[in-house]
Amino acid sequence: MLMTTTITTLFVGDGSKCEFRRVLSTLKASTHAKTAVNLDEATALLAVPRETVDLIILAVSRPGEIRCDQFDDLVRQAPLSRIILVLGSWCEGEQRSGKPWPGGQRVFWYDWSRYWQRELESVAHGLCPTWGRPVTTTHEELTDSTVTLPTTRSAGLIVLDTPVLETADTLADLLRVCGYATYWVRSANDLGKVAGATSAVWEGTMGDDREVAHLARLSFASGRIPIVALLDFPRADRIERLLAAGAAHVVAKPFLLDDLLTALQRATLGSQATHRDGQLSAVNC
């Protein structure tokens, strides 16, 4: 984790919840982090003379937990601070979470680690992070700006396990541009036709019992090559089940290409390191 102690952050919410524990731990590891259990405590802290905060991170567990007037009051009290809303599982979907409030950037809890790592790398290289852009920047513009292709071509064969041809074609096209070869399978039995695969991308929907069993069969049949699982708006318990079934990383759909590539690279490196030690461990990114 990069250290950027010149950034002062204020985490507002319950950092003990499983969805937000990693958010708070990364902030403490990489910034000068302050905490407040709720908006009242945050307001009191911000009212202290000479108390400045670069970033305010609001941990939102469910829709409506923070009212629009409370958010507006926070913006008025800390006009120079940028606000990031980290949304929990109950906030998924546009119909539930709505459009981002003006002046706030939205990140789902399962995307936090990759998002924050990109932000710190931008700061370390003297570039403007997404939270440093004008408050009028739309969510779509922020999303588009984070999609980049690698500057060097990667080598490796990736197994694509998805029941949908269109998804396989889309993944194959994206990964081919980045230098990967791909092979589409629709069941673990098809893996007998594949040799030399370095990793796999498995697509699921909600991570039910049937899908978990399918992923476990893929993991067993592939000889435990690292698997990146794609899942719709994953809950914390679903992620844990997929990791236990053999996934190395779980990426939420819809996903950014950067996130998928990062997960594949980390999975492959992690596999090489753990195989040298005689074992393979699964790590949630």
Say what the pLDDT of residue 13 is. Answer: 93
Query: Under a CB-based contact definition with an 8 Å cutoff, are residues 239 and 263 in contact?
Result: no
pTM above 0.85, yes or no: no
Say what the pLDDT of residue 4 is. Answer: 56
Say what the pLDDT of residue 202 is. Answer: 93
Residue that the structure tokens 């476990």 belong to:
216
Say what the pLDDT of residue 227 is. Answer: 92
In the chain, the N- to C-terminal Cα span, in Å, equals 13
DSSP state of 193: G
- What are 21-30's contacts with CB under 8 Å, separation 24+? 22/112, 22/113, 23/57, 23/59, 23/86, 23/109, 23/112, 26/1, 26/112, 26/113, 26/116, 27/57, 29/1, 29/3, 30/1, 30/2, 30/3, 30/4, 30/116, 30/120
pLDDT of the chain along its 285 residues, tens only? 555 558 999 999 999 998 899 999 999 999 999 999 999 899 888 888 877 899 999 999 887 788 888 888 888 888 888 999 998 877 766 545 555 566 678 888 888 888 898 888 888 888 888 887 766 666 556 555 444 545 445 568 899 999 888 889 989 988 888 888 898 987 767 776 777 888 999 999 888 889 999 899 888 888 778 999 998 878 888 888 999 999 999 988 878 788 888 888 887 775 544 433 333 333 333
Cα distances (Å, whole numbers) of residue 135 to 73, 161, 233: 16, 40, 26
* Single-letter amino acid code for the residue at 249: H
Q: Which domains does the chain have, with CATH numbers?
A: 8-145 (3.40.50.2300), 157-276 (3.40.50.2300)
Strand partners of residue 270: none
Query: Under a CB-based contact definition with an 8 Å cutoff, are residues 206 and 231 in contact?
Result: yes
Query: Under a CB-based contact definition with an 8 Å cutoff, are residues 159 and 191 in contact?
Result: yes
What is the sign, positive or negative, of the torsion defined by CA atoms of 76, 133, 9, 87?
positive
Return all residues near 42 (Cβ < 8 A) that are at least 6 apart: 10, 12, 36, 56, 74
Say what the pLDDT of residue 275 is. Answer: 39
Number of H helices, E strands in the chain: 10, 10
Say what the pLDDT of residue 148 is. Answer: 52
Q: Distance between CA atoms of 160 and 182, rounded to whole angstroms?
A: 7
